[in-house]
Amino acid sequence: MTQVLVLKFDAGNGKTMTLTVDEPRDNLTPTEVEDVMQKIIASNIFHHSGSSLIAINQARIVERTVSEIQFIDRN
């Protein structure tokens, strides 16, 4: 199972921008995530179609499990 931290921000153009962080630390707290998101907004280094990020929209951890299907040899 793999995990990603999905950070969604509102941009000044009315759109939403998503940043994804692979393999986040297991013990992240809501306060830590919010603080980092506020720092990302304040740094003004990310833009969406020329518009700055202006607000936190949401954050979530997404878990994904991949199971391969084994085929029977057909020869």
Cα separation values, 13 from 9, 16, 17, 43, Å: 11, 9, 10, 18
Q: Extract the runs of DSSP E, i.e. beta strands, from 1-75.
A: 2-11, 16-22, 47-48, 51-64
Could you give the dihedral angle defined by the CA atoms of residues 49, 43, 20 and 37, in that order, rounded to the nearest 10 degrees? Answer: -120
- What are 37-75's pLDDT values in tens digits? 999 999 999 998 999 999 999 999 999 998 999 998 876
Is 1 a residue whose pLDDT tops 90? no
Q: What is the pLDDT of residues 32-43, one digit of tens each?
A: 999 999 999 999
Where do the domains of the chain lie? Answer: 2-64
Average pLDDT over residues 4-30: 96
- pTM: predicted TM-score of the whole model, two decimal places: 0.83
> Starting at the edge strand that comes first in sequence, how are the strands of the sheet with 2-11 ordered?
16-22, 2-11, 51-64, 47-48
Residue 2 scores a pLDDT above 80: yes
